[in-house]
Amino acid sequence: MLLELTGVSKRFGPVEVLSEVDLSIDAGEVCALVGDNGAGKSTLVKCVAGIHAIDGGSIAVEGEVRDISGPRDAAALGIEIVYQDLALCDNLDIVENLFLGRERRRGIVLDDDSMEQLAAETLDSLAVRTIRNLRQNVASLSGGQRQTVAIAKAVLWNSRLVILDEPTAALGVAQTRQVLELIRRLADQGLAVLYISHNLNDVFAVADRIAALYLGRMAAVLDAADTTQSQVVELITSGRSGSLGLTDTNGART
Amino acid sequence: MSENLETLHDASEPADATAAPGAPDPMGAVVAHVRGYLANVRSGEVGALPAVAGIVALCLFFGMAKPVFFSVGNLANLFGQGAAVVCIAMGLVFVLIIGEIDLSAGFASGVCAAIMAVILTDLGLSWPLAIGAALVTGTIIGLTLGALVVKLGIPSFVVTLAAFLAFQGIALIILKEGTNITIHDATVKAIAGGNLERWQGWTLLAITIAGYGAVQVSRWRRRIGRALVHEPLAVVVARIAALAALLSGTVFLLNLERSANPQIISLTGVPVVVVILGVLFTIWSFILHRTRFGRHLYAVGGNREAAVRAGVNVDRVRIAAFVICSGMAAVGGVVAASRAASVDPNTGGSNVLLLSVGAAVIGGASLFGGKGTVRAALLGGAVVAIINNGMGLMGLSAGVRFGVTGAVLLLAAGVDAASRGRGAIFGRH
Ligand SMILES: Nc1ncnc2c1ncn2[C@@H]1O[C@H](COP(=O)(O)OP(=O)(O)OP(=O)(O)O)[C@@H](O)[C@H]1O
Ligand SMILES: [Mg+2]
């Protein structure tokens, strides 16, 4: 397993936002993380990213338990996150955004040409054809193109796990499809992808497995192929569906 | 599912502004390049255009109103009059890029000039020490302002407004309640008053053009070597030729005799201050566009949160911007003191700050952050200097001159706000 969460708990003051969450993701698969507003999806991502320290449980990368205490630690382990609000600079061009904070240099001089070349190769390898001019400012890009840049930024660094928090939330139909296609391609290239979304059609379009969070607890982790949308809806809204899901609760926390 | 997605690519992307590698039709490539530039202008990326258009229009206007405006003597004068403001504006650009403001830059230059004057005259020490002390003072001022803004989180507007008042007071104290210190040191006076020999001017010109040409051509060839999108060679050559023509013309004119009484004292050659401005321009442009620090400045101004997440040391970048601003204010103070050959409590006061901010904004820096170049300070400074010089020649009163300069600053800020709006409207499809 590339990433393995065991019994991860997180509390903000008296509120337990995550309790005993287990989740594992393998290389080459898209795992979707679903759950209602406030279920704790973004919090879980931030724990993996090292933005929040976990209060219990462990996070293992390739079988080794790791203490991730910041975005740099996560990046060093090959974990990249594409946040809900895209972290792009509108006044910089695509290449400049892709390499922000990790610029290539010759001596003290920026090596813009080699960065542009590597950016072009990366976008090529992702079969991105919606972006032609790498030197245009990000401000002039469409929502889908911006999302593409944000994702490309995450895979530029030999990353092994890419986490996307609602990457298609603000996109139209065609651009959503482009991004989903890109997500699928990341997994096909051997990366592990954790994909958070509220849109079950999108989830079923790309995910290999679906993990449903219910009030901070992992209700179930299922193979997408043997699951129906209505089962997932039930898991999201009540934490259980038939024999699946949490057994001890009807919404009340213990 | 991926089959049907394959076909869903956005076919309505705008055509590339620049030539594809190995474009077969050189004329078409040039046309495409020009078209791309015009498209950028329409979408709000006006760049240096307003300032250049302003310079041309103002020169024509003042030249027709007062033919003496076009005299060689007045040309040399313009550089001297504008130099201090351009220096301060160059520093302000760095602070504007990160989305902050420094209202104290004018009086900071006054304090630094006063310290230099006291060391030269009262203490009788040498000019390198005096100028060094002025620059160190500027650096310390910048560190202090930057720390207050960045570490304590006080808005730069408030911090530098307080400093504006405080520095005024410090200058008064240093100059013992308003005495005027005259500067006798020949080297310091030569900064704004000296001229190069004719041959020195031509030599520097040759070095400048050769250097610029080499950088441009080697960059062009490198991009071809990597099969990257590149400009047509004709555009590169045209740019080098345009710079060469402009600079050669300037050197030629400045090498003409411009003394009113050549028999008594001859006055020729490129002013030293032009060389100083040229060197500062080159250094700061390099730092802004070719180094990681410069890239991070723009990133911090564009989206600070993104810079933080990308691992940029945002605090350090922001403090450095304030240090550069105050440091350049010190340079401006030295230049102003040299030109006046004296320092008084009003050095760097009056409208100096307004003109410097105006210069940066007129040149294309944005008060909203994220945008600005060293070239903006130079071009905007030229506009400001020409307005003041021309209105002076026309004999207009100080009141009218202040009013007109204020109106021009407002106009530039309006263009800034409008082009931002256009970018937002036309940028996203
Ligand atoms: N920094 C914080 N301090 C206190 N409580 C927090 C903090 N961050 C999140 N929470 C709480 O934790 C719970 C889970 O929030 P989280 O953002 O993880 O939900 P989510 O599943 O991502 O929801 P959404 O679908 O709306 O994005 C919410 O009740 C939220 O109020
Ligand atoms: Mg969320």
DSSP letter string over B262-304? TTT----S-BHHHHHHHHHHHHHHHHHHHSHHHHHHHHHHH-H
Higher local confidence (pLDDT), A132 or B208: B208
Q: Which two tokens stand for residue B233?
A: 């060679």
- Residue B219 CB: number of other CB atoms within 10 A? 15
| Average pLDDT estimate for A81-88 | 79
B305 reaches A (C-beta below 8 A) = yes
The rounded percent of chain A whose pLDDT value lies above 90 is: 52
Task: Note the ipTM here.
Answer: 0.83
Mean pLDDT computed over every residue of chain B = 87
B60 Cα distance to chain centroid: 23
Helix (H, G, I), strand (E, B) or coil at B99: coil
| Residue A20 zone, left/alpha/beta (φ > 0; ψ -120 to 50; rest) | left
Residue A7, pLDDT score? 93
The rounded percent of chain B whose pLDDT value lies above 70 is: 90
Going from the C-alpha of B238 to that of each of A3, A137, B216, B231, the distances in angstroms are 56, 25, 11, 11
Q: Can you give the residue ranges of every domain in chain A?
A: 3-89+160-245
Instruction: Compare all CA atoms of chain B with the CA of A205 and give the residue at the minimum distance.
Output: B1
Residue B5, pLDDT score? 37
Q: What is the DSSP code string of A135-182?
A: TSBGGGS-HHHHHHHHHHHHHTT--SEEEEESTTTT--HHHHHHHHHH
B2–A113 C-beta distance less than 8 A? no
pTM of the shown model:
0.85
pLDDT at B220 over 70: yes
Residue B422, pLDDT score? 55
Residue B48, pLDDT score? 76
Q: What is the DSSP code string of B209-267?
A: HHHHHHHHHHHHHHHHHTT-----HHHHHHHHHHHHHHHHHHHHHHTS---S-TTT---
Q: Which has the closest alpha carbon to B204: B289, B136, B276?
A: B276
In tens, the pLDDT along B46-103 reads 677 888 888 999 999 999 999 999 999 999 989 999 999 999 999 999 999 999 999 9
Q: Do β-strands A109-110 and A105-106 pair in parallel, antiparallel, or remain unpaired?
A: antiparallel
Mean pLDDT computed over every residue of chain A = 88
B9–A184 C-beta distance less than 8 A? no
**Distance (Å, whole) CA B297 – CA B329:** 19
A51 Cα to the center of ligand 2, angstroms: 14
A194 Cα to the center of ligand 2, angstroms: 13
Higher local confidence (pLDDT), B99 or A86: B99
Q: With respect to CATH, is domain A3-89+160-245 assigned 3.40.50.300?
A: yes
B19 contacts on A by Cβ (under 8 Å): none
In tens, the pLDDT along A53-68 reads 999 999 999 989 998 8
Higher local confidence (pLDDT), B8 or A119: A119
| Least confidently predicted of A202-216, B252-266, B327-341 | B252-266
Q: What is the DSSP code string of A41-82?
A: HHHHHHHHHTSS--SEEEEEETTEEE---SHHHHHHTTEEEE
B302–A91 C-beta distance less than 8 A? yes
In tens, the pLDDT along B5-51 reads 333 333 333 444 444 444 456 677 778 777 777 777 666 666 778 88
**Structural domains of chain B, ranges and CATH numbers in brackets:** 54-194+271-426 (1.10.3470)
Top mean-pLDDT range of A2-6, A173-177, B90-94: B90-94
Angle, helices B314-340/B272-290, rounded to nearest 10 degrees: 170
pLDDT at B370 over 50: yes
In tens, the pLDDT along A9-42 reads 999 989 999 999 999 999 999 999 999 999 999 9
pLDDT at A252 over 70: no
pLDDT at B425 over 50: no
| Least confidently predicted of A35-44, B121-130, B409-418 | B409-418
Residue A248, pLDDT score? 66
| Average pLDDT estimate for B322-347 | 94
Selecting from A83, A135, A178 the residue whose C-beta is nearest the C-beta of B8 gives A178
B347 neighbors B171 (Cβ within 8 angstroms): yes
Residue B23, pLDDT score? 46
B94 burial class (0-12, 13-18, 19+ CB within 10 angstroms)? buried
Residue A214, pLDDT score? 93
Higher local confidence (pLDDT), A95 or A246: A95
| Average pLDDT estimate for B398-424 | 79
pLDDT at A75 over 90: no
Higher local confidence (pLDDT), B226 or A33: A33
Nearest ligand to the C-alpha atom of residue A39: 1
What does DSSP assign to residue B13? P
Q: Which has the closest alpha carbon to B46: B429, B423, B425?
A: B423
What does DSSP assign to residue A224? G
Of all protein residues, the one whose alpha carbon is nearest to atom 3 of ligand 1 is A12
